[in-house]
């Protein structure tokens, strides 16, 4: 059933895909929509808007606004004419949206970040497990809310598994996003790259050990807005790297 006006706020890591998961269904239900992409990745949303005009969508059914969260996103979540807010992004912003929407009892749909565990028992097929872990941590450069960035592995097989993951990681092609051979590309901003590196440094200072990588990656001709494939072992549950999203190509290894 149509609920009315829907505010759609999308993140930077899958800007076109996530909008494609939200917008068609709101329109199919008969809703009008206001869309705000991340200020870091607005282009594909604007391109979709041009396609919607070309397709003959009536004016005012889909409205695209560009800007930052505090100025634009906050208005989209608190405005009395908005009946629903759907948001994909960080837990911190999700909390703020819930609070802002509560004043008018809007319907809220949130897809937020986490610290997804992969639990590996001693009777696992180590090759398959290592392959799954390697894919899970580097997919979309680890900039993914369901990145398999935290493994909890039985101590009897931890060393063997880490060795396999490290070896597999060495064969994953990091580099120029426009090179067809590249499997893992750039970090979204230099500021975010610094945040990734801070998590790794803090873990090492707290007693963890780097088994692979652990720093920025220089790509010839493109500079250093890339991060090495990184495996951090000896992680304990109280460390920030075990509890918070790193959102980069960094694997945290905990044992049980």
Catalytic residues: 111, 145
- Encoded tokens for 210: 């780097």
The single residue listed with the structure tokens 């894919």 is 135
Question: Which long-range contacts link 237-243 to residues 24+ away (Cβ below 8 Å)?
Answer: 239/202, 239/203, 239/206, 239/208, 240/199, 240/202, 240/203, 241/199, 241/200, 241/202, 241/203, 241/208, 242/115, 242/150, 243/115
What are residue 62's DSSP bridge partners?
33
Distance from C-alpha of 205 to C-alpha of 195, rounded to nearest angstrom: 15
Distance from C-alpha of 5 to C-alpha of 13, rounded to nearest angstrom: 25
């Amino acid at each position: 059933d149509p609920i009315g006006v829907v505010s759609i706020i999308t993140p930077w890591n899958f800007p076109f895909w996530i909008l494609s998961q939200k917008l068609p269904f709101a329109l199919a239900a008969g809703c009008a929509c206001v869309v705000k992409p991340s200020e870091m990745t607005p282009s594909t949303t604007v391109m979709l808007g041009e396609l919607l005009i070309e397709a003959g969508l009536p004016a005012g059914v889909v409205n695209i606004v560009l800007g930052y969260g505090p100025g634009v996103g906050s208005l989209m979540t608190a405005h009395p004419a908005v009946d629903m807010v759907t948001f994909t992004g960080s837990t911190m912003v999700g909390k703020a949206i819930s609070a802002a929407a509560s004043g008018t009892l809007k319907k809220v749909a949130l897809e937020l970040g986490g610290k997804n565990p992969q639990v590996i028992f001693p009777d696992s097929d180590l090759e398959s497990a290592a392959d799954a872990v390697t894919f899970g941590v580097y997919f979309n450069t680890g900039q993914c809310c369901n990145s398999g960035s935290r493994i909890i592995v039985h101590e009897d097989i931890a060393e063997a598994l880490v060795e396999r993951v490290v070896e597999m990681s060495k064969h994953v092609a990091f580099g120029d996003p426009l090179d067809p051979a590249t499997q893992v590309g750039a970090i979204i901003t230099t500021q975010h790259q610094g945040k990734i590196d801070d998590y790794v440094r803090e873990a090492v200072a707290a007693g963890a050990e780097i088994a692979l990588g652990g720093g920025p990656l220089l790509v010839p001709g493109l500079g250093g807005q890339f991060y090495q494939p990184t495996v951090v072992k000896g992680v304990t549950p109280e460390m920030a790297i075990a509890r918070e999203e790193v959102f980069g190509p960094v694997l945290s290894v905990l044992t049980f």
